[in-house]
Structure 1
């Protein structure tokens, strides 16, 4: 079987089963696992799937470009945002990551709290300035058109000169096994660097991210202070996550 035929077969399995197990496909087709892994790697490089240990998963909805995510799980994001804002103490410095849930947070930030907000996202910075009286500090760097967030060497250098009390981390995948993941390698590195400069890191877990896995690891679950989830989300995955990290509803 030619590589193009195997890839079509892999696409069909992914649509039908929601996952690909490399060893099973190799046995069914009578080819080596190396051939299947190579096909999966090429499909992942083309943005058609996410490679995981032993196979592949579909691209999660939360891993779409930011303009496509704006209308995804909006009510869940608003509930998570309100719960997250409740964690912010007076007179604190916080970092708001890029993303649609942090954007929802900007609309409910407290006034008169003597708050400083640091962000790598121009969109978040403008929203904070519009909806609150907080001081705004922007992390500079190359702007990713996919996520609309600053990253790269300039951003990494700026992060090393910052310190904050809380980091509200946005990721596109939150999974008990694969941890916290996102879709862009530079974004993942920037998120890790910011977390290292903050006293506490809280992950924002709206419903479309729970149980999803993206291709770039960010942090292990035990490296963060807590996971803020939608109180209406009854996914059994949250129970498994609660065994690894503090879950706040």
Structure 2
């Protein structure tokens, strides 16, 4: 079998099975694991899969830039946003992540909500300007333009004095074994810092994130209070089997 044919087979298995185990594919095709690992490196370099120990997982569509992500699963994001907005306690303090789902949460807050919202996203903050009952606090720092959020040492330090009831966190991948992942190391560190400042962290998980993975780990599934999602798939059931609560949208 030619390399191009193996690539098509591997991508097909990712679509149907949601994962590739290198040793199993190698045994099936009667070729070396090294050949399969080389194929997976080439597919990963082309952005077509996410390599993990022993094989590969689907790459998350949520790793595109902000404009691109706006058009990925907008209906799913809206359903997740509406449900997540109800997790913000009246009179309480919530940290709201950056990204397209978090922006949808900001736009979905009840008109009569009185709360304090802390965010490191200028775009999310601007969406709250006309919300009369919401007090807005913005965390500053170096802006990571891909997601339009403040990251880096200054932003982490600015977050250190926060005390919030809930953090509504965005990620690009939610997977039963790989946990919660995103595409940038500094952004992952910022999410961890914000999570440490909240009593509870909930993950905003629209459909394209379930069963996918990205290069940088944010947290393990057992580090969050729940996953807010509107899907019911085999991948989600594997995630639920780890014991993390699922908050249906």
Shift of 1:50: 1.3
Alpha carbons 2:58, 2:212 under 8 Å: kept = no
Q: Where does residue 126 of structure 1 map in the other structure?
A: 126
Aligned-pair CA distance for 1:166: 0.5
Distance in 1 (alpha carbons) for counterparts of 2:100 and 2:204: 10
Q: Deviations over 1:184-232 (max 9, x none)?
A: 11111110111011111011121111111112111111111111111xx
Q: Report the 3-state secondary structure (helix = DSSP H, G, I; strand = E; otherwise coil) of the residue aligned with 1:94.
A: strand
Where does residue 165 of structure 1 map in the other structure? Answer: 165
C-alpha separation between the residues in 1 aligned to 2:44 and 2:22?
14
- Please report how far the alpha carbon of residue 171 of structure 1 lies from its aligned counterpart in structure 2 after TM superposition: 0.7
**2:234 corresponding residue in structure 1:** 236
1 CA distance for matches of 2:21 and 2:234? 23
* TM-score, normalised with respect to structure 2: 0.85
Partner of 2:141: 141
Deviations 1:140-162 (A, max 9, x none): 12111221111111111111122
Supply the distance in 2 between the matched residues of 1:187 and 1:46 (Cα, whole angstroms).
Answer: 22
CA gap of 1:12–1:116, structure 2 versus 1, over 3 A, is: same
Q: Secondary structure at the match of 2:59?
A: coil
What is the distance in 1 between the residues matched to 2:80 and 2:200?
17
* Correspondences of 1:141-220 after superposition (within 5 Å): 141-220=141-220
Aligned Cα root-mean-square deviation (Å) = 2.5
- CA distance in 2 between counterparts of 1:14 and 1:129 reads 48
**1:33-75 deviation per Cα after TM superposition (whole angstroms, max 9, x unaligned):** 3x76577557646645311121223422122222111011111
CA distance in 2, matches of 1:15, 1:241: 22
Matched, 1:61 2:57: no
Distance 1:87 1:50 in 2: 32
TM-score under structure 1 length normalisation: 0.85
C-alpha separation between the residues in 2 aligned to 1:11 and 1:145? 33
Q: 1:52, 1:10 → 2: CA distance?
A: 18
Q: Is the 8 A contact 2:7 2:43 kept in 1?
A: no
Distance 1:176 1:188, change over 3 A: same
Q: CA deviation at 1:113?
A: 3.3
Checking the alignment, whether the CA contact within 8 Å between 1:83 and 1:228 is kept in structure 2 is yes
Contact 1:142 1:151 in 2 (8 A): yes
Cross-structure match for 1:16: 12
Report the Cα distance in structure 2 between the residues aligned to 1:237 and 1:24, rounded to whole angstroms. Answer: 20
Q: Which runs of 5 or more structure 1 residues have no equivalent in the other structure?
A: none
Q: Distance in 2 between matches of 1:185 and 1:94?
A: 24
Aligned equivalents of 1:221 and 1:155: distance in 2? 24
